[in-house]
Structure 1
Amino acid sequence: MDHKVLSGLLNPIRMRILQTLLGQETVTTRVISEQLPDIPQASLYRHINKLVKDEVLEICEENKIRGTVEKVYRLKINPFQQIQEAVEQGGKEEHFQLFYTFAMSLLTDFQQYVNTEDYDMEKDRVGFRSYPFYLSDEECDAFLEDMKQALMKVARNEPNDQRTLRKFSFTMMPGKDE
């Protein structure tokens, strides 16, 4: 997979746009905007155009509405399948590039957060920790399944006045005893 495309897929706003499309065959910018009201319209258009340019989305229809043209989009590729294929079929370089892009997106998100005027890590419930623990393969699989179930409970929450967009990211890899 092209590194530029992968980097675009790991962008938090583009990932949210793609998650909006996953449950639907086609969607308009208006529908995406309604489902992601916290993203400014100009920014939303810019991210959608980038996804079209990178051939992740395609325009499948154009409708004239009151003198303007409304574009209808659909997924051209399944981005999550593309990432999974890169994991399964890639070598050391592709795997490193995937992880590097993931880590850089975390750094970018954190930099944007700390550059806000009134950030407060405790109030905003920001945290990062590393928890080393010993698990058999079976215990690891059970742990990951429990995490998946917990994440699925909140993954489809709709935005509203009571909810803040929060990003939960994690890695798991073997460690060295020290």
Structure 2
Amino acid sequence: MPEESSIADVVLHPVRLRVVQQLGGRSLTTAQLRATLPDITQATLYRHVAVLVEAGVLKVVDERRVRGAVERTLALGERMAHVDQAELRTMSDAHIRGAFLTFLGDVAADFDRFIDSDDGSLRDFVGFGRTPLYVDAQALATIQTGLSELIAPYTSERDGRRRVSFGTLLVPDAADPQQSQHFENDESP
């Protein structure tokens, strides 16, 4: 049996990342998935879908015959498409930099598609900003748990709701070495 690939190796490819993003919270047929990603050729899309299915990131939830071919309906699989802290610690600097640039590229491409659209009402759903937080590891875990609980009711497709992409980005401020040492020794909540 082949060794299981890391989630980062599987998901952090520009095409596969976009496929995972499209399926988050919903099931799509392969035809519907192709319609959401029109700039990706059919052969390329199917090749990357196969990699994601084999890795357990996607699963086939239904199959039906359509004009002599089998149409599959896909959803996110059992293996969560998320790179956790333990895996981040094992990645080389070059690998984590590449993963981060893939993430940023995907966000930028989504933003470009939004800007290029003709739907002016979409501007009601866009926003971006940065806020400094002062946390220790425990406080950060509390924030992440609370945020997950807050957004959970909105992570599945529902009639009448517009789909938006919500991303998070945590980058420690490495500019002040004294602050870093204080952070390591801080035991207060």
TM-score under structure 2 normalisation?
0.62
> Which of 155, 162, 165 lines up with 2:163 in the alignment?
165
- What is the CA–CA distance in structure 2 between the aligned matches of 1:50 and 1:66, rounded to whole Å? 20
Q: Indicate the residue corresponding to 1:40 in structure 2.
A: 35
Distance change >3 Å, CA 78–CA 48, structure 1 → 2: farther
Deviations 1:117-150 (A, max 9, x none): 24356x5231111001211222111111111111
TM-score normalized by the length of structure 1 = 0.66
CA distance in 1, matches of 2:20, 2:152: 20
Unaligned runs of 5+ in 2: 1-7, 177-189
Conserved 8 A contact 2:14-2:102: yes
Counterpart Cα distance in 2 of 1:65 and 1:97: 40
Q: Which runs of 5 or more residues in structure 1 are unaligned?
A: 22-27
Deviation at 1:48, TM superposition (A): 4.9
- 1:41-64 CA deviation, whole Å, 9 max, x = no partner? 8849937514245x223699xx88
Question: Using the alignment, how far apart are the partners of 1:41 and 1:120 within structure 2?
Answer: 19
Q: Distance in 2 between matches of 1:65 and 1:72?
A: 9
Partner of 1:117: 118
Q: CA RMSD in A?
A: 4.0
Contact 1:64 1:70 in 2 (8 A): yes
Percent identical pairs in the alignment equals 15
